[in-house]
Amino acid sequence: MKNWSESKALLAAICTSGATLAVTLGIAWTMRQAPFSIWFPSIPTSAQAVTKPVQVAADAAQGRHLFLMNCAHCHAEDATGDEGPDLHNLHKSDARIHQVISAGIKGEMPSFGKKLGDPEIRQLTAYLRTLNS
Amino acid sequence: MNSLFWERAHGGLTHFPIALIFAAAFFDALAFFGRLPTKQRDFKAVGYWLVILGALGSLGAVFSGLVLSKWTIGGTGAVLRHHLFVWPAFALIVGLAMWRFLVGDNPSRRAFAMYLATMFVGCALIGAAGFFGGEMLLGH
């Protein structure tokens, strides 16, 4: 334990606090601007780069159909929410969305794990992603 | 490492600084309001180490949260509400821990009172950040 004067320590603490916050936000901003994410590897091959958007669009279209059949009852046809919450601009990972659809939320949302398989849930997720503004 | 990993990592890592900082405030309050000098010294030492460990733990919590949110500083909706409390709380905790580290184990009573009051503000900010973080996790 060091023993600086209290006012000098206060100045140092403010500087450290500000610098830590600035560095953290600076790193986040820099990483946000990066052309690809090193934490969520998703760099497509050249063949995938061509076919992926088409596949995603097809998945989303099928997902829309699944949504109307299974989810619109509670989340409304436009997914803006009714009995269930608004599903626009979801800040959740695909894995988390998959988990919620599959396992449900106790006391709030039924499980669809037995009714929908992995491909269907992936299609639903693709549709939900189209709801981001 | 997929996003579910970071979701779990963030969920786990955030609870260490939350618990450590709340406990630090508690022990420092005991030190401040306590009557026995020996106990006061002991409580102050506990508070000292807890706030330093809490600040170190907050680095891991912030890092995992940033990766999880794909380096989003602000965001919208619940993410924005979470971040509005996270950043001031983070800065405050780092500053408090640094002050405590530099001043050592025997600050004046007036300075310690100011420190303790700021710790409570930090606890409130951490609590609010944790609340909105939980809101995101619970699906709304």
Q: What is the largest CA-CA distance in chain A?
A: 68
Q: Do B7 and A94 touch (CB under 8 A)?
A: no
Q: pLDDT digit string (tens) for A6-51?
A: 889 999 999 999 999 999 999 988 888 775 555 554 445 555 555 5
Q: Do A4 and B69 touch (CB under 8 A)?
A: no
Q: What is the mean pLDDT of residues A103-119?
A: 85
The separation between CA A115 and the C-alpha centre of its own chain, rounded to angstroms, equals: 23
Cβ density class A54-83: b for 16+ within 10 Å, e for less = eeeeebbebbbebbeebbbeebeeebeeee
Q: What is the rounded CA–CA span in Å between residue B28 and residue B131? A: 24
Q: pLDDT digit string (tens) for B43-54?
A: 999 999 999 999
Count how many Cα atoms sit within 13 Å of the Cα of residue B94 in the half-sphere of its side chain.
23
Which pLDDT does position B140 carry in this prediction? 47
Q: What is the rounded CA–CA span in Å between residue B100 and residue B122? A: 14
ipTM of this predicted complex?
0.85
CB B54 within 8 A of CB B95: no
Residues of A in contact with B85 (CB under 8 A): none
Across-strand partners of A105?
A: A109
Contacts with B, A 10-69, CB within 8 Å = 10, 12-14, 16-18, 20-21, 24-25, 27-29, 31-32, 37, 39-40
Q: Choose among B82, B25, B80: nearest CA to B48.
A: B25
Q: pLDDT digit string (tens) for B73-98?
A: 988 777 888 999 999 999 999 999 99
